Amino acid sequence: MSDQEIERSDVIIVLHTGPGHDLASQVNGLKAIGLQVGNIDADNAVVEGTIKSAKLPALAKLPSVKYRRIVFNYMTETPETAPQPNSR
């Protein structure tokens, strides 16, 4: 892996529900550690998103996370090194 690439993971997260578990604040907590939220199923408290793989341990330790599944891991270029479109 070069310094110009980052490993990312697509994840599905099931959050705790019930009294004291506000979905909006739980989602904000996920975003705070770096989750890019793709989809929220509020009825089932399920969030889909993408996160740097290095942050997976921190994600698993969040008290709002009941279950997490890593769907897919992949490498991406950092924004600073991504190919730029030709400008004319």
| pLDDT value at residue 20 | 85
| Domains of the chain with CATH codes | 5-74 (3.30.70.80)
- pTM value is 0.81
- In three-state form (DSSP H/G/I as H, E/B as E, the rest C), the secondary structure along the chain is CCCCEEEEEEEEEEECCCCCCCHHHHHHHHHHCCCEEEEEECCCCEEEEEEEHHHHHHHHHCCCEEEEEEEEEEEEECCCCCCCCCCC
> Given pLDDT bands bounded at 50, 70 and 90, which one contains residue 18?
confident
Of residues 54 and 84, more confidence is placed in 54
